[in-house]
Amino acid sequence: AVAAPTPAPTPAAVQGGDPGGGRDGLFGAITSGTIGAPGIGDPAFPGDGNGGYDVRHYRLRLSYDPATKRLAGSATIRARAVQDLTSFNLDLRGLTVSRVAVDGATAGFGRQDDELTIRPAYRISKGDRFEVTVDYSGLPEPIRDYVNLGTYGFVATADGSFVTSEPNGAKTWFPSNDHPADKATYDFEITVPAGLTAIANGELDGEPKTVDGKTTFVWREKHPMASYLATMTTGKFEIRTGKSEKGLPVYAAVAPAFHGSLDNLYTETAKITDYWSTVFGPYPFSSTGGVIDDYSSGYALENQTKPIYGGFSPESGIIAHELAHQWFGDSVSITRWKDLWLNEGFATYAEWLWAEHRGEATAEALFKRYYANAADPMWTYPPGDARATDLFNNSVYVRGAMTLHALRKAIGDAVFFPLLKKWTTEHRYGNVTTEQFVALAEQMSGKKLTALFDAWLFQPRRPAVVA
């Protein structure tokens, strides 16, 4: 670490237009003087994210070599100060930082736990735009067995990397404001040994270029994205690209062991994305896709534009779930983790809608089947208050979906489906809370719905009334 330089008058802020990445619905982080808070203010995850600034854009220039498992490069972060700052934090776990610069001037920095504290040479004033560059390298490690979250973050595989970062694993591979309340746009320039593929979010910018046995892939995600949805999945992949019937670009990639699943992944992804756009409103991003890697994580993740399936060939219900997240979670994002049912309840309900659409089962029948089991542990876990120590509890998924079905029955299809579209339109690329959803449902239905939501989301018992 370098000693903090004396704060001096503010230099001119970095100018330039950044699209997107603005914060809305963000609860206030605690500020003290000119020191940015080490957490964004989510009570359940106090260390996650940071206060004092709003990231607009990440530019990640990284090279990865599976032979040595070494990641090296630099992250350039464009941000806007929301208070005066003589110091601020980024989240970063492990890895070695060699240099930090703020607006081109070398800055002081220190490391403690998963926090990188940066002391710019010049004080940053509230409202200023500034640019931070962090040069770093090392052997990234995922977070393992943290409470019931399994292994997540950057996982080194035999031929590359498997990167699924929900809820707070982005810090295992790049310095970030690692919380969904601060979304930003991303550019990725990822260099891997020739013969391997690097897959990130958004779309490829030009053909990959190979120089001296190394290939660089440039990907751009021009829509705001939560840090946990960013990926750099690398390795040997077979790829199929094209367009859906509605004309949306599709990118499907599978590890060679899943050769036989590529066409199904491609076809189902294209078809389901098109279908959801008729139910949930226009697809929010510029391409859709999917990745099957041969690392068995035991779960899938809705990485923006490219859900990833960890070591299994997904059946269409799971693809429908991950693609529904592109609307619910990725475009319309939570502001605090306790509202996770806004992601998982909606994506699970989407599975039921998909089953209904395919004539396999009605949402009503699925609802009744779950309701019938009075001993299900989800009845003691209120899904409207997802717990940090048991974030992905089945209740957040299934009881969350049941909440939507109870709502649908209470307000009728003629209000329920327009409500879903209004929700995705009004909050596209933004951040939301449960209270906002309840308010919109009440407004559109003209009904008082607090008792329904209270029983389904907040009580530790099975609601007495089947709506």
Smallest distance from ligand ARG to CB 298, Å: 8
300 binds Zn ion (CB under 5 A): no
**Nearest CA among 94, 93, 25 for reference residue 54:** 25
For residues 91 and 87, what is the distance between their CA atoms, to the nearest angstrom? 14
319 binds Zn ion (CB under 5 A): no
Residues in region 373-402 near ligand ARG by CB under 6 A: 392
Report the sign of the C-alpha dihedral through residues 196, 201, 203, 205, in that order: negative
> Which residues are CB-neighbours of 438 under 8 A, at least 6 positions away?
449, 450, 453
Q: Interface with ligand ARG by CB under 6 A: which range of 80-88, 297-305, 379-387, 426-434? A: 297-305
Reply yes or no: is the peptide bond before residue 167 cis, omega within 30 of 0.
Answer: yes
Smallest distance from Zn ion to CB 293, Å: 18
347 binds Zn ion (CB under 5 A): yes
**Which listed residue (166, 189, 293, 339) binds ligand ARG by CB under 6 A?**
166
Q: Interface with Zn ion by CB under 5 A: which range of 105-113, 153-161, 333-341, 346-354? A: 346-354
Smallest distance from Zn ion to CB 370, Å: 17
The answer to whether 49 touches 91, Cβ cutoff 8 Å, is yes
Q: Interface with ligand ARG by CB under 6 A: which range of 113-121, 144-152, 274-282, 424-432? A: 144-152
The answer to whether 47 touches 38, Cβ cutoff 8 Å, is yes
344 binds ligand ARG (CB under 6 A): yes
- Number of amino acids touching ligand ARG (CB under 6 A): 11
Smallest distance from ligand ARG to CB 92, Å: 19
Closer Cβ to ligand ARG, 81 or 319, answer by number: 319
Binding mask 219-258 for ligand ARG (x = CB under 6 A): ----------------------------------------
300 binds ligand ARG (CB under 6 A): yes
**Which listed residue (301, 324, 411, 438) binds ligand ARG by CB under 6 A?**
301
Q: Interface with Zn ion by CB under 5 A: which range of 165-173, 202-210, 336-344, 450-458? A: 336-344
Q: Interface with ligand ARG by CB under 6 A: which range of 13-21, 75-83, 300-308, 446-454? A: 300-308
- Do strands 308-310 and 288-293 pair parallel, antiparallel, or not at all (unpaired)? parallel
**Which listed residue (97, 149, 407, 420) binds ligand ARG by CB under 6 A?**
149
Smallest distance from ligand ARG to CB 150, Å: 4
The answer to whether 64 touches 79, Cβ cutoff 8 Å, is no
Structure tokens at 303: 């990485």
Q: Interface with Zn ion by CB under 5 A: which range of 218-226, 342-350, 367-375, 438-446? A: 342-350
Smallest distance from ligand ARG to CB 319, Å: 11
- Number of amino acids touching Zn ion (CB under 5 A): 2
Smallest distance from Zn ion to CB 300, Å: 8
Closer Cβ to ligand ARG, 204 or 323, answer by number: 323
The answer to whether 323 touches 287, Cβ cutoff 8 Å, is no
Give me the residues that bind ligand ARG (CB under 6 A), please. Answer: 149-150, 152, 166, 299-302, 322, 344, 392
Give me the residues that bind Zn ion (CB under 5 A), please. Answer: 344, 347
